Each structure stands twice: as structure tokens, then as C-alpha cells.
Amino acid sequence: MTEHSAISPPGRSGGRAARRAARAAPLADHLRPIRPGMQGGAYRPLSDTDMAQIHSAALDALERIGLADAPPSGVAYLTAAGAIEGDDGRIRFPRALVEDTIARANRSITLCSRNGANDLELWGNRVHYGTAGAAVHMVDVDGRHYRESTVQDLHDAAHIVDVLDNVHFCQRPMVCRDIFDNFEMDINSIYATTCGTTKHIGTSFTDPAYVAPAIEMLHMIAGGEDKWRERPFVSNSNCFVVPPMKFATESCLVMEECIKHGMPVLLLSAGMSGATAPSTIAGAIVQAVAECLAGLVYVNAIKPGATAVFGTWPFDLDLRTGAMTGGSGEQALLTAGCAQMHKFYDLPGGAAAGIADSKMPDMQAGWEQMCSNVMAGLSGLNMVYEAAGMHASLLGFCHESLILSDDLIGQAMRCVRGIEVNEETLAVDQIASVCMGGPGHYLGTDETLSRMQSDNVYPALGNRMSPKEWVEMEKPDLLVGATARKEAILATRAEARFPADLDAEIRAKFNIHLPA
């Protein structure tokens, strides 16, 4: 039944317009059926014994195999903390060192928004969805083709994220392919996203020397170094390892710089099962956990209790072709299993979900994005990265798909919320009043009307019309509706844009490519 076909009870028709207007108005936060940070954790593909075995295997790998290619500074930090440098140059981690680090690590962190309205509280099973990735193409749904992504596309993505209720953070989803200097690309990536949204931003750096100038710009945006350090609203997505079991030397130096400047770090291990990680789901999780535990020791050797997200991101491969399969059931299980290991350690964690292998926002994309997004949320993953807008196994990003993902994630979050069972929701008194002398249905009852917004999530673009209504409404198309909303959002100036004097100050110091 849709709103258009609902039965109007006698005596209520005069207020229908008013009731529709009330339902269209934004709900107070305490009445919303879904909200950032809801508790997941109901789905547990791994038993307690499974998790203990994965933990033991990861410790064995760290102690027996260790990681290669740490930079000299990393070797110094790690060996000072108790790691052992072997004759083969590999850094090995005694079990006691790893377990002591886990016990001391920061397990309750907040990733700040710029305006304080959308902070992400990461602990327990609190779930947040957002963008991520480094796509090199934009998906043009109208022409059904791919083109290179630009700094304007990146800003527009952040601008769209800023107005979407169910996309809670904006890690850079694409690369600015129109900026050829790596330093300018890193600076402009931060500028384009921070002036697009006040939600928490994630970014990366191509060289450790680029961190300090970027931090200088962030001090300007924050209003000073003290304000930045108090509420850092940008984090570093750091691929500190090159799987299998090697440190990424340059990225480790970037990580050291970010920690010194008070920037939160996502410790990102992204092995490919069957290629750079074991082909089994359990084995891929073991390696990702081992690598991230090594990263955790590294971070805490630099600064005990530093803000770090445990980023186990193993990806699945189609073993017939070697192609990445981000939208597979195996990928969904990998992510859910990693989320459970985060809970095993009681550490704030993130992983990838919501990726479509499909090249366009079509039915295949829908099932691929929904499957892993739901499983990630149900498993209690704190940070669900790449949850919106990603296509072609992370090679393409789509603004329309980002908008449609707001509806999709809304339904996923409703699954995360689960079923409340109490005296009111069991509804025996309501059943009695309807069945014994009542109207014989629940349409329009006070109980139904009072809970229709607090219990149910309604799509903004997805339609629930009957075929007859669909024809009468001129057969609305989902992608046409998403494009229209995109154009409406981008026709307005982003609320996150900087004041004119600050913008001029930034532009005088840095070569900003985005038009003023």
C-alpha cells in the first residue's frame, strides 16, 4: 500500500494535507527511525572459537614471519617498543608485545566533523556508512560511458554527501585526474572535500613531505593549531602495508608525520584474496588482522593511544579471471568477519562494503551494494567504507549512485536497528481494540499513525506506486530522479564553503584549482 492508495478513515480527510506536510518535515533527532552510530553486531559468521583461532594464527604469523621493508625510523620505533629485527631485515613481533599493545590501545575514539554536528563515535558496535576509494573515472549515466574524474567532481561528491542523511562521512572517493602535480593534487583533494562538506573527511598523501603544508592549510581552516588538535576533522587513509606482510615504506613515513601533527590514521590493509592474500576467507582475514596488529604496534610506538582505526580491508577476487569482485557474497563475508575481529579486540575498526562490480547503477549494482552493506552493518562494523557510489570494482564513481545509495543505506540501517520487543510493540491491547468492536483494520489508528515515522524508513527516490499510479505519474525513472536531485543539490552553493576572507587567504598560499 502506498501513500497515494491509503484508505482515509471517516472524519480525517480534512486534515490529510496537514498530515502529509507534517510527515514531509524533518523529524526531530530523537524520533528518527535510523541515525548514525546505531548498534549492530547481531550477525556473527564467526564463532568465539573461530575468532580465537584467527587471533592465534595472526600472532603466529607476526612472531614467525613478521613484516619486511620498514623504513629506518620505523625500525627504530618498533625495536624500541620490543619488536625484533631479524638478519633477513624482517621485523618480528613477540606475542607479549602485540597483546600489551592491544590492551593499551585507544578503544574509544571520536572522528570529528568540522562543525560538531556529525561527529562519529567509534566504539562497540556503533555503525557508520560513508564513501571511500580512489576511483579514476566518473560514471556518466546519461551517456553510459566513463570519463576521467576531476577536482570539481570531487567537490561535488562532498557537496552531495553533505546533504545526505545516511552517508555519515566523506573519505575521498576519487582522484583528481586533472591535476598532474602530486603535491597540488593532495592539497586540492583536501580543499575540495572540506569546502564541500563539514562531515568528517578522509584523505591520503603521496609523499611524507606533503603532510606539513596540508596541515598548515587545515590549521587555517580550523582557526589555529590548537583548534585543529582539539578537533581534527580530516583523517589519513594510510595503506601502510603492501600485502603480503611488507611495510609500504613511503606510506609509513606519511603515517609518522600525520601522527605527529595530530591527524587520525586509518591503518589500511588491502590484500586481494588469491593474489596478495590467501584465497580462503579465513586466511585472508588472518593476514589482514596480522598486518593491522603490526600497524597498531607501530602507531602506539610513535604515540601511545594515538587515534587509529583498525582497517582490515581484504578484497575478493574472481579466481577464474583475476578480476576484483567487490560485490560478491565472499566480499560481504570477508568484511563481516573482519568486523567481528574488531570486536574481538574491542578496537574501533573499518572495512569495505557497498562496492558494485557493475559498471552502471542497475539491478546488479543494487544487489551487490545492498548485500555487503547490510552484512557490514549487522556485524557492527564501526566504519563502512566505500558504501556509496562505487562502481566497476572501485574504478568508477557515480554521483547519481551516491544519491541512490542514501536510500539503500537507509534500508540497510533499518535492518541494523532490528526488532524492538516490548509491551507496546507486542500490541495485544491494540489487537483487542481493533478486533472487538473496532474497525477491523489498523489503518489510521492512533497507534499506527504515531509510529509510522519513528518505526519506518521511507525511500526518497525509490517508488512504491502501483502500476496504475506509475503510469499516471508518467512512469518515473529512478536514474532520472537521481539526476534531477543531483542537479538541484549542485545548483546551490555548498554550505561548507569557506568565508571569503579565509578562502582568499588559502588561495594566496596554495594553488587551488577549484573555481572560487
Q: What is the pLDDT of residues 327-344, one digit of tens each?
A: 999 999 999 999 999 999
Q: pLDDT at position 450, please?
A: 86
pLDDT at 383 over 70: yes
Confidence of residue 20 (pLDDT cuts 50, 70, 90): low
* Cα Rg, the chain, nearest whole Å: 24
Q: How far apart are CA 387 and CA 204, in angstroms?
A: 18
Buried b (16+ CB within 10 A) or exposed e, 133-170: bbbbbbbebeeeebeebbbebbbbbbbbbbbbebbbbb
Least confident residue range of 15-19, 53-57, 151-155, 198-202:
15-19
Q: Which residue has the higher pLDDT, 179 or 454?
A: 179
Cα dist. 439→290, 434, 446 in Å? 62, 6, 13
N- to C-terminal Cα separation, the chain: 48
What is the average pLDDT across 346-361? 98
What is the average pLDDT across 440-460? 91
pLDDT tens by residue, 453-504: 889 999 999 999 999 999 999 999 999 999 999 999 999 999 999 999 999 9
pLDDT at 424 over 70: yes
Q: Which residue has the higher pLDDT, 15 or 33?
A: 33
Q: pLDDT at position 26, please?
A: 67
Q: pLDDT at position 32, please?
A: 86
Please provide the average confidence, as pLDDT, over all residues in the chain. Answer: 94
Helix, strand, coil % in the chain, rounded to nearest 5: 45, 15, 40
pLDDT at 116 over 50: yes
Phi first, then psi, for residue 264 (nearest 5°) are -60, 150
Burial of 349 (0-12, 13-18, 19+ CB in 10 A): buried
**What percent of the chain stands above pLDDT 90?**
91
Q: How far apart are CA 285 and CA 268, in angstroms?
A: 13
Read off the C-alpha cell for 252: 609509513
Superfamily of domain 102-417: Trimethylamine methyltransferase-like (3.20.20.480)
**Which alpha helices (DSSP H) does 65-122 contain, by range?**
72-81, 95-104
Q: pLDDT at position 1, please?
A: 34
Read off the C-alpha cell for 245: 606482510
**What percent of the chain stands above pLDDT 70?**
95
Confidence of residue 7 (pLDDT cuts 50, 70, 90): very low
